[in-house]
């Protein structure tokens, strides 16, 4: 049976993003992140009684559920990452354009797989700390029930959700700006931007999806509704990215970096500024075969 209050679902990214910030070359940030989300994906299949097909919040589930889910989600995301990031707001703060490697698999396979497993394990560890109070007695000698009648998870879940969400925003911004600075002259021209088309498709899919969520089994269970709504948002961005790619290909303008279209604007720019000094540095960067520190 699934737990009833996993309100920390988005905030589960906080500890894994901290790991990526600490040692960028050690981890695949994409599978690390999707691994941290994987245990809660099963809430999509929540039934009317709150039960699902299996307990995905268990250590064996790291291998038969979380690992394949993280790899599948990562593959789908990487296929459209460039188009999605090109249309997200907040470039100044989050440096989305610096995440060029999100559309590739820049790490060795064992780093990708171990990152997915570590991300999922961090989810289980987070849940153990926030949903159980036995460790308080072991570590601090404190029996929570003797202090207050308020359930431990009521306090810890809300606190960890808020703190975790704040850390996710801060770490995402720091990682993006660091990636943008590391890319420098090697940064490729971004994909074509068609904001009107992108956000129109995203809005249409969001409205249709959110209208469907209350009609699904287990809609009265908050956990299921939260996870399903987040998936609707993800599907909306994915559909919008696909629409932009199809429009770009049909226009014959090329993808990425095409220019001119009534449906949007182009933000393509050269990979390097012309000039002897600048071109020399670019040739050196290309010759070195380097890439932004740590990949994503």
* Strongest mean pLDDT among 101-105, 223-227, 231-235, 259-263: 231-235
Radius of gyration of the chain (CA): 21
d(C-alpha 98, C-alpha 191), whole Å:
13
User: For residue 111, what are the CA distances in angstroms to 31, 33, 69, 133, 185?
Assistant: 9, 13, 16, 33, 27
In DSSP terms, 261 is beta-bridged to 264
What backbone phi and psi angles, to 5 degrees, belong to 264? 180, -165
d(C-alpha 156, C-alpha 132), whole Å:
9
Contacts for 276 with CB less than 8 Å, ≥ 6 apart: none
Q: What is the pLDDT of residues 117-149, one digit of tens each?
A: 999 999 999 888 887 777 777 788 788 877 787
For residue 270, count CB atoms less than 10 angstroms from its CB and return exposed for 0-12, middle for 13-18, buried for 19 or more: exposed
* 3-state secondary structure at position 261: strand
Question: ∠ CA(71), CA(65), CA(77), 5° rounding?
Answer: 25
In the block, residue with structure tokens 């990636």: 179
Q: Do residues 205 and 112 make contact, with C-beta atoms less than 8 angstroms apart?
A: no
- H helix or E strand, kind and range, residue 126: helix 109-131
pLDDT of 150 over the 90 cut: no
Say how many residues make up the chain: 296
For residue 78, count CB atoms less than 10 angstroms from its CB and return exposed for 0-12, middle for 13-18, buried for 19 or more: middle
Lowest mean pLDDT among 7-21, 57-71, 194-208, 276-290: 276-290
Counting residues of the chain whose pLDDT is more than 90, the rounded percentage is 48
Q: Which two three-digit tokens encode residue 115?
A: 């990152």
pLDDT of 279 over the 80 cut: no
Q: Do residues 295 and 111 make contact, with C-beta atoms less than 8 angstroms apart?
A: no
- Provide the CB-side half-sphere exposure for 194 (13 A, CA): 28
Count of other CB atoms within 10 angstroms of residue 157: 19
* CA 31 to chain centroid: 9
d(C-alpha 110, C-alpha 289), whole Å:
22
d(C-alpha 10, C-alpha 38), whole Å:
11
pLDDT at position 123 is: 94
d(C-alpha 227, C-alpha 229), whole Å:
5
pLDDT at position 190 is: 63
Count of other CB atoms within 10 angstroms of residue 181: 12
The DSSP letter of residue 264 is: B
Instruction: Give the mean model confidence (pLDDT) for residues 196-212.
Output: 98
Q: Do residues 71 and 79 make contact, with C-beta atoms less than 8 angstroms apart?
A: no
């Amino acid at each position: 049976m699934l737990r009833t209050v996993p309100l920390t679902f988005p905030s589960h990214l906080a500890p894994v993003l901290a790991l990526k910030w600490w040692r960028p070359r050690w981890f695949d940030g994409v599978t690390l992140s999707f691994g941290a989300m994987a245990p809660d994906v099963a809430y999509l299949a929540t039934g009317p009684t709150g039960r699902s097909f299996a307990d995905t919040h268990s250590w064996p589930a790291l291998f038969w559920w979380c690992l394949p889910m993280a790899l599948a989600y990562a593959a789908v995301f990487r296929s459209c990452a460039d188009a999605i990031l090109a249309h997200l707001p907040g470039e100044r703060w989050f440096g989305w354009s610096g995440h060029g490697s999100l559309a590739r698999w820049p790490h060795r396979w064992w780093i990708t797989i171990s990152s997915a497993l570590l991300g999922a394990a961090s989810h289980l560890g987070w849940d153990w700390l926030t949903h159980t109070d036995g460790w308080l007695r072991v570590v601090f000698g404190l029996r929570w029930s003797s202090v207050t009648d308020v359930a431990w998870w009521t306090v810890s879940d809300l606190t960890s959700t808020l703190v975790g969400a704040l850390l996710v925003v801060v770490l995402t911004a720091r990682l993006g700006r660091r990636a943008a600075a590391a890319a420098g002259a090697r940064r490729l021209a971004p994909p074509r931007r068609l904001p009107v088309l992108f956000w129109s498709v995203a809005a249409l899919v969001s409205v249709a999806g959110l209208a469907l969520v209350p009609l699904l089994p287990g809609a009265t269970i908050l956990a299921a509704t939260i996870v399903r709504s987040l998936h609707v948002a993800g599907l909306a961005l994915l559909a919008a990215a696909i629409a932009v790619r199809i429009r770009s290909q049909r226009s014959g303008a090329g993808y990425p970096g095409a220019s001119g279209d009534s449906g949007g604007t182009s933000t393509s720019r050269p990979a390097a500024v012309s000039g002897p000094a600048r071109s020399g540095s670019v040739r050196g960067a290309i010759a070195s075969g380097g890439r932004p520190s740590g990949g994503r």
